[in-house]
A and B are shown apart, each in its own frame.
Chain A
Amino acid sequence: MRYIKKKSSRIWIYLALAVYVVFCALPFYWTTMQSFKTVRQAFARKPLFFFKPTMQNYQELWIKSTPENFGFLGMILISAFVLFVILMVFAKRFRMPTAFTRSIGMALLLFTLIMLPRVVDTAEFYDYFLNSVIVTAGVVVISMSIGSVAGYALARYSGIEGVVIIIIALAFRALPRMAFALPYYSIGQATGLHDTYLIVILVLTAANQPFTIWMMRAFFAEIPKEIEESATIDGLGPLAAFVRVVVPTAWPGIISTGLFSLLIAYHEFLIVRVLTQSKWTLPVAIVQFTGGEAPGHMTLAAAAAVSATIPIIIIIIIFQRHLVKGLTGGAVKG
Chain B
Amino acid sequence: MKRKLFFKFSAPSNLTMITLMLIPLGVAVFLSLHFVTFVNINTPKFVGLSNYAAILTDPQFWQAFRFSMVILIIAVPIQIVLGFCMALLLDQIRSIFRGVILALILLPFVVVPVVGTLMFKQLFEVGGLVAYWYRAVFNQPFLFTPTSVRVLIIIHLIWYVTPYPLVVFFAGLQGLPESQLEAAEVDGASRWQQLVHIVIPFLRPLLLMTSMILIMDMYRMFDSIMVMTEQNPMYQAENLMMYSYRVGMMVQRLGRANATAILTVLGVMVVLIPFLRITYKNQMRNE
- B121, A290: Cβ atoms under 8 Å? yes
Count the A-B residue pairs with Cβ separation under 8 angstroms: how many?
313
A73 at the interface (CB under 8 A from B): no
> Which of A43, A157, A298: most chain B CB closer than 10 A?
A157
B52 at the interface (CB under 8 A from A): no
Chain A interface secondary structure, helix, strand, loop or mixed? helix
- B222, A178: Cβ atoms under 8 Å? yes
Chain A 1-44 interface mask (CB, 8 Å, partner B; 1/0): 11110000010011011001101111110110010000000111
B196 at the interface (CB under 8 A from A): no
- B132, A47: Cβ atoms under 8 Å? yes
- B10, A154: Cβ atoms under 8 Å? yes
Give the complex CA separation of A315 and B111 in angstroms. Answer: 10
- A1, B279: Cβ atoms under 8 Å? no
Q: Tell me the chain A residues, 186-222 only, with Cβ under 8 Å from chain B.
A: 186-187, 189-190, 202-203, 205-207, 209-210, 212-213
- Which of B85, B107, B113, B232 makes the CB contact (< 8 A) with A267? B113
Min CB distance, A220 to chain B, in Å?
Answer: 11
- A186, B276: Cβ atoms under 8 Å? no
Min CB distance, B222 to chain A, in Å?
Answer: 6
- B122, A301: Cβ atoms under 8 Å? yes
A333 partner residues in chain B, CB cutoff 8 A: 164, 213
- A171, B261: Cβ atoms under 8 Å? no
Chain A 30-62 interface mask (CB, 8 Å, partner B; 1/0): 110010000000111011000000000000000
A331 partner residues in chain B, CB cutoff 8 A: 168, 209-210, 213
- A274, B27: Cβ atoms under 8 Å? no
A207 partner residues in chain B, CB cutoff 8 A: 21
Give the complex CA separation of A24 and B89 in angstroms. Answer: 16
B73 at the interface (CB under 8 A from A): no
A125 at the interface (CB under 8 A from B): no
Chain A 265-285 interface mask (CB, 8 Å, partner B; 1/0): 011011001100000001100
- B42, A190: Cβ atoms under 8 Å? yes
Give the complex CA separation of A47 and B104 in angstroms. Answer: 24
Chain B interface secondary structure, helix, strand, loop or mixed? helix
- A174, B191: Cβ atoms under 8 Å? no
A117 at the interface (CB under 8 A from B): no
- Given A43-B126, A159-B6, A328-B168: A167 and B93 within 8 A (CB)? no
- B113, A269: Cβ atoms under 8 Å? yes
- B119, A31: Cβ atoms under 8 Å? yes
> Which of B10, B25, B220, B231: most chain A CB closer than 10 A?
B10
Chain B 182-208 interface mask (CB, 8 Å, partner A; 1/0): 000100000100110001000000000
A119 at the interface (CB under 8 A from B): no
B88 partner residues in chain A, CB cutoff 8 A: 1
A23 partner residues in chain B, CB cutoff 8 A: 159
Min CB distance, B206 to chain A, in Å?
Answer: 8
Interfacial residues, chain A to chain B (CB-CB below 8 A): 1-4, 10, 13-14, 16-17, 20-21, 23-28, 30-31, 34, 42-44, 46-47, 146-147, 149-154, 156-159, 161-163, 165-172, 174-180, 182-187, 189-190, 202-203, 205-207, 209-210, 212-213, 238-239, 242, 263, 266-267, 269-270, 273-274, 282-283, 286-287, 289-291, 298, 301-302, 304-305, 308-309, 312-313, 315-317, 320, 323-324, 327-328, 331-333
